[in-house]
Amino acid sequence: MSNLTSGNRNRIAEAFAGGKAFIPFITCGDPDLATTAAAVREAVKNGADLIELGIPFSDPTAEGPVIQEANVRALAGGVTTDKVFDLVRELRRDVTIPLVFMTYANVVFSYGSERFLGKCADVGIDGLILPDVPFEEREEFLPICRRYGVKLISLIAPTSADRVAMIAKEAEGFIYLVSSLGVTGTRDSISTDLSVIVREIRKNTTIPCAVGFGISTPEQARAMAAVSDGAIVGSAIVKLLAKYGTEAPAQVGAFVKSMKDALR
């Protein structure tokens, strides 16, 4: 098994090594898997440092309407977890940056946790984000993730106050710092004072942290990356895919370039 994981041991760390990281999120299979593959490649070409791939789920509780609708479209189009694994295997022929899955506990359970993580290692997935699994319940997944060399990425929210130090101490890969309360979606402004949370994180770990939820403009990305190690953008990219469909990859590339330029 070691040969499967040794190659991706430090890919996530490398993504943050060259300055502020830009991390796009893409729902797999919206509008179809070929478009997802093209969008990922355009994002890589235009400076994405790490990509979050959403495995569609029928009840994505952390998502706002934009990503919920993308999940519905992808599932209606026949996307399955197996087809997403095939997509990653195909991407890994030329995509060398870290790829992490964002999905829900139920997706992993119903596939079989051991089988799911084994397949992640096999196709070259570097990390896993499960927004519906609280820190206190991660032991259900952590040992299996570690066995297969897949980082279980922790989320820290503005409400995590007294738990920030505890979560940060145990964190792996990178920390997903949630910018504001509620579900994903673009926001006009982000009012949370994240610098206080980031200071607490820095006291407890050297692992990088990136800010997500609500970032949709280069200005917001720059502001969020100023206090952290990078910016994560989902809904704004998923909107482009909803609007342009199979023509979206070029738009996604241009958007990623504008965001990455803002972080340089």
- Please report the domains of the chain, with CATH numbers, ordered by start residue: 2-263 (3.20.20.70)
Q: What is the pTM of this model?
A: 0.93
Identify the helix (H) or strand (E) that includes residue 233.
Answer: strand 230-233
The predicted pLDDT at position 3 comes to 34
Identify the helix (H) or strand (E) that includes residue 215.
Answer: none
The predicted pLDDT at position 4 comes to 39
Which is nearest to 61 in space by CA: 133, 155, 113?
133
CA dihedral 123, 129, 131, 135 (to 10 degrees): 130
Q: How far apart are CA 100 and CA 87, in angstroms?
A: 13
Reduce the DSSP state of residue 18 to 3 states and report it: coil
The predicted pLDDT at position 5 comes to 40
Q: How far apart are CA 91 and CA 40, in angstroms?
A: 8
The predicted pLDDT at position 192 comes to 60
**Which residue type is seen at 41?**
R
What are the helix (H) ranges across 46-80?
A: 65-76
Per-residue pLDDT of the chain (264 residues; tens, 9 = 90+): 333 344 445 899 999 998 999 999 999 999 999 999 999 999 999 999 999 999 999 988 778 889 999 999 999 999 999 999 999 999 999 999 999 999 999 999 999 999 999 999 999 999 999 999 999 999 999 999 999 999 999 999 888 878 999 999 999 999 999 987 655 545 455 556 788 999 999 999 999 999 998 899 999 999 999 999 999 999 999 999 999 999 999 999 999 999 999 999
Cβ pair 153, 177 in contact under 8 A = no
CA atoms 243, 47, 129, 53: torsion sign: positive
